[in-house]
Amino acid sequence: MSKELYDIIIIGGGTAGLTAGIYASRSRRKTLVVDRKRPGGQAATTERMENYPGFPGGISGRKLMDLFRDQAVNMGCTIEKGEVLEVREGNNVFEVVTKKGEAYNTRMLILAPGCVPRKLGIPGEETFSGRGVSFCATCDAELYEEAKVVVIGSGDTAVEEAVYLSRYAEEVVMIVVHDEGVLDCNRTIAGEALDNPKLSWRWNRSIVSIDGDDLVRGVTVKNLATGTMEQVECEGVFMFVGTLPQTSFLEGFIGLHGGFIEVNERMETGRVNVYAAGDATRTVLRQVVTAASDGAKAAFYADKALSEKEELEKALKHAGGEYYLYFYTPPVQESLDLFPVIEKRAGNAGVPLVKLDTCRFREAARRYGVSSVPKLLHIRGNEPVREINL
């Protein structure tokens, strides 16, 4: 069991996690990324990414994620393989425990566990997984050279992957629950897909089962307009019906909404010193560029909180076991005008005075329940004895 203490541990090595690793390491923080697989996440399964800034000709997701990983490592970030089973909070540290029994300690935690493809639970889905049912066109498209395949879904991923599959398959049949012409993806990829001669469409349909013997031979779909069942012959089925956040290990540790992590604009969770980023958070857009932004913000605010914590610990250590704690902020002129009064009170009481700007020491203000300034507290043994009227 490792007793090594990290400044920041990042759970998840996808786009958000690797970006957080880059930013945290660049801030000279001792940083660890723990990921259960090869770093890269869902983005690494994308054959070609044409909407990531800086690559007008497109770039493979695997190559882009390898660049992210290499940059993080070159900045000094450590990356370890491990499936996290539990996070515990101890005395001013968090302990991250993996399936193999490794344990890592950290002062700050960034959660970026990502998502995996959602399954429908229909007959044949599990039975034919790996034998005709796939959740990754990039991984398996070449297996269906000149074959007929079915794609379930109508979002960005489904339509983009269908277009990619058309490079290999003879025909790609799209099963869409919406009315004709209605897709959930962006208009650019929708136009490309609708104009693709290799794509055919079954509108107002839902999939009932995946059928076959040793391998997939077809699917049964329901016509939502008539209620009739239809058989569609195919050799492969690709499922793109949403994603599931990989957050089960966090239940009871932080607030979740439908499995997704609640964060504010600073990427803070409801637990102090715990941040989150990427697809596993509640967000309106799940793209590589937004996940990278999340990771950068999470690392920035985690570093800022660490700096605050270090500065406060230094000030309180110098103050000793009993002191006056004065909260102020420059935008409130009254809190500045009271400086001479506060200095005199502390001097008369014979105790040190620690002054904290609430704009910089947000966590300290939250800890002591300071919602407005000026506020003067008498502290003994790190706990408030009383609030002093001003």
Q: Judge contact between 3 and 26, C-beta under 8 A.
A: no
What HEC string does the chain produce? CCCCEEEEEEECCCHHHHHHHHHHHHCCCCEEEEECCCCCHHHHHCCCECCCCCCCCCECHHHHHHHHHHHHHHCCCEEEECCEEEEEECCCCEEEEECCCCEEEEEEEEECCCEEECCCCCCCCCCCECCCEECCHHHHHHHHCCCEEEEECCCHHHHHHHHHHCCCCCEEEEECCCCCCCCCCCHHHHHHHHCCCCEEEECCEEEEEEEECCCEEEEEEEECCCCCEEEEECCEEEECCCEEECCHHHECCECEECCEECCCCCCECCCCCEEECCCCECCCCCCHHHHHHHHHHHHHHHHHHHHHHHHHHHHHHHHCCEEEEEEECCCCHHHHHCHHHHHHHHHHHCCCEEEEECCCCHHHHHHCCCCCCCEEEEEECCEEEEEECC
Token pair, residue 297, equals 């913000």
Q: Which residues are catalytic?
A: 136, 139-140
